[in-house]
């Protein structure tokens, strides 16, 4: 059994995209000096966490092969879990967009390390990214990523079993637009929105923001990276007149803490 039995499938899916798409995506990003700088910092800090004995680094090493999230954003999730547990902020932990499960597994491991049992909801197509829409300002580049970030449901389940954190995890397969409105979530302490596109981020906020309890945390993975994600967040906060500071985690990641009642 190869160590990553799904690798070949992902390679085939990536290879099915028209030649040059990936290169076009890389060249587009290279035109952005802030992103290039961030990537360099990411490489350097990532290396440190390979040897650091810290609590976070130990968990990071367990999931890093299963995530595209940066160290800073993973650390944001780890600290988010510790915060809601430490402050006794009640509610579930929810991730919209888990792909191969790395960031979600990190949250599950952080919960276990904090001695806490909470339901962890994971929403994804488990078939890769859906297509962006005309509401994504960078549609031309974004559409090249349709079908990428593929993490199969069975692959993610296996990661959770391997890490010993499968208990209490609710995997929900399908488009956020179809699955989230039907879910039985009542209260959320920590919400991680990592769906890349305008429509995906918008539906998560519209459906889940009100379930985040006062003092709860919402982390956005793609605010700096994808223009549609940023647009959805900015529009939602403006429409609802929500005036809380967006904490910058790195080039792309942001988080907010919902005001206490
Ligand atoms: C960048 S990946 C998530 C990365 C992941 N958090 C990690 O640790 O690597 C984005 C994920 O969001 C999912 N996604 C985006 N929009 C979606 C939608 N509307 N419905 C369901 N899943 C969606 C994709 O399938 C993909 O797996």
pLDDT tens, residue by residue, 4-39: 666 666 555 554 555 677 777 777 778 888 888 888
pTM of the predicted model as reported, rounded to 2 decimal places: 0.92
User: How many A from CA of 125 to the centre of ligand 1?
Assistant: 7
Each residue of 64-117: pLDDT tens digit?
999 999 999 999 999 999 999 999 999 999 999 999 999 999 999 999 999 999
Work out the percent of the chain whose per-residue pLDDT is above 90.
Answer: 79
Is 228's C-beta closer than 6 angstroms to any atom of ligand 1? no
| 198: in domain | yes
| Residue 214 falls inside a structural domain | yes
Q: Does residue 183 sit within a domain?
A: yes
In a domain, 2, yes or no: no
Helices (H), the chain: 7-16, 21-30, 33-51, 55-63, 71-86, 102-113, 139-142, 153-162, 176-179, 198-208, 227-239
The CATH code of the domain that includes 74 is: 3.40.50.150
Q: What's the pLDDT at 31?
A: 80
> Could you tell me if residue 1 is inside a domain?
no
Q: How far is the CA of 53 from the centre of ligand 1 (A)?
A: 30
Asked if residue 145 is part of any domain, the answer here is yes
CB of 253 closer than 6 A to ligand 1? no
**Are the C-beta atoms of 121 and 172 separated by less than 8 Å?**
yes
CA distance 58 to 214: 30
Domain span at residue 92? 7-257
Radius of gyration of the chain (CA): 17
CB of residue 129 inside a 6 A radius of ligand 1: yes
Please count the structural domains in the chain. 1
- Mean pLDDT computed over every residue of the chain: 92
Q: Enter the tokens of residue 68.
A: 């595209």
Give the 3-state secondary structure of 199-259.
HHHHHHHHHHHHHEEEEEEEEECCCCCCHHHHHHHHHHHHHCCCCCCCEECCCCCEEEECC
Range scoring the smallest mean pLDDT among 27-31, 52-56, 137-141: 27-31
Residue 31 lies in a domain: yes
């Amino acid at each position: 059994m190869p160590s990553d039995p799904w690798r070949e499938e992902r390679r085939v899916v990536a290879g099915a995209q028209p030649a040059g798409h990936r290169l076009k995506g890389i060249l587009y990003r290279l035109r952005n000096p802030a992103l290039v700088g961030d990537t360099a910092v990411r490489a350097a800090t990532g290396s440190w966490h390979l040897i650091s004995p810290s609590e976070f680094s130990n968990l990071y090493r367990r999931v890093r092969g299963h995530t595209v999230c940066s160290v800073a954003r993973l650390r944001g999730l780890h600290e988010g879990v510790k915060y809601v547990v430490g402050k006794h902020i009640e509610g579930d932990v929810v991730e919209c967009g888990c792909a191969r499960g790395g960031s979600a597994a990190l949250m599950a491991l952080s919960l276990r390390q904090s001695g806490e049992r909470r339901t962890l909801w994971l929403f994804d197509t488990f078939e890769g990214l859906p297509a962006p829409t005309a509401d994504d300002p960078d549609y031309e580049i974004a559409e090249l990523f349709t079908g990428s970030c593929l993490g199969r449901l069975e692959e993610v389940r296996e990661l959770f079993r391997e890490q010993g954190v499968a208990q209490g995890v609710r995997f929900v397969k399908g488009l956020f637009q179809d699955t989230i409105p039907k879910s039985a979530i009542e209260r959320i302490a920590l919400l991680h929105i990592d769906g890349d596109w305008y429509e995906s981020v918008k539906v998560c906020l519209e459906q889940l923001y009100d379930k985040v309890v006062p003092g709860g945390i919402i982390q956005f993975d793609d605010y700096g990276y994808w223009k549609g994600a940023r647009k959805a967040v900015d529009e939602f906060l403006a429409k609802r007149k929500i005036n809380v500071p967006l904490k910058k985690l790195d080039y792309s990641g942001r988080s907010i803490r919902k005001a206490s009642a």
